Amino acid sequence: MENSRVVMVEEASNPPVTSAWGNFAALIKIGIVNSNAITTFTGLWLAFMLTGKHFLQSLDIVIFTMIGSSFIIAGACALNNFIDRDIDPIMERTKGRPTVTGKISGTKVLAIGLTFVIIGLLMLFKMNITTGIIGIIGVFTYVVLYSMWSKRLYVSNTIIGSISGAVPPLIGWAAVDPTLPPMAWMLFLIMFIWQPPHFYALAMRRVEEYRAAGIPMLPVVKGFAVTKLHIVVWIAFLLPIPFFMTSLGIPFVILATILNIGWLVVGIMGYKKKDDIKWATQMFVYSLNYLTILFTAMVILSVI
């Protein structure tokens, strides 16, 4: 979901799109759907590998889970666009959305969002109750707790939104193994902890847009110095996580630790740089590469 918001964010400016597909893709935030599909699949894959269940003999689980999770994410993103119609015209990166340009009416957006969420949840509940409930939690957190409530009121909006961005791997895992062992929660924690430093760095780069829109992001409310400190602290929280994932093998633990230390070092070394935007850009780019490498490594190393 958006706070799992490529990868999880529409970083570039979004010029108005003219094709029907382009408008639809912008409405459901296709980049976010695709990036969350990666983390959902990782949860699925690891659950198969670590429980000894056969992946190819369970393709129905894979298909229903991947389509169902994609539908609820797409629907939630459409509902977010519906809710944010008043502030999206103010921000450069969102002013090209079809809800702003008028290419898709508010009524249609609401219908698409609700329909997609319902279809997706039905697919997830077909797997088991746990998977469906996690899907509901993800949608509720993103649409209600984040988009409708905390985003416009509290500086903690990023942390609240991070819950929804962290549930996709749990959905994938629960479809295979609804008991959700500690490894599944490690995937959740990685995604939850990763999001604040990722989005705080983005917010630093877009601080004036958020300020104009009246969104109380951390750099808007507390300034860059406090935001940089929070980024470094959140990254430090990632350090112990790999040591609870030894079932993926020592090579993974080493790789994940190197990535964690590398991100922390980049943050600390640049902490006193005068160019805060350049520092934020470095941290943002590292966060994207970090997540891609880490989740790819999980899939590859689990079969070696």
User: pLDDT tens, 25-63?
Assistant: 999 999 999 999 999 999 999 999 999 898 988 999 999
User: What's the CATH fold of domain 2-301?
Assistant: Farnesyl Diphosphate Synthase (1.10.600)
34/38 Cα distance (integer angstroms): 7
**Sign (positive or negative) of CA dihedral 130, 47, 52, 58:** positive
Q: Are 136 and 83 in contact (CB under 8 A)?
A: no
User: pLDDT tens, 247-297?
Assistant: 999 999 999 999 999 999 999 987 777 899 999 999 999 999 999 999 999
216/211 Cα distance (integer angstroms): 7
For the chain, the distance separating the N- and C-terminal CA atoms, rounded to the nearest angstrom, is 30
* CA nearest to 230, candidates 256, 282, 261, 193: 193
**pLDDT above 90 covers what percent of the chain?**
85
Residue 121 Cα to chain centre, angstroms = 18
pLDDT in the model for residue 56: 86
pLDDT in the model for residue 18: 59
Mean pLDDT of 213-230: 96
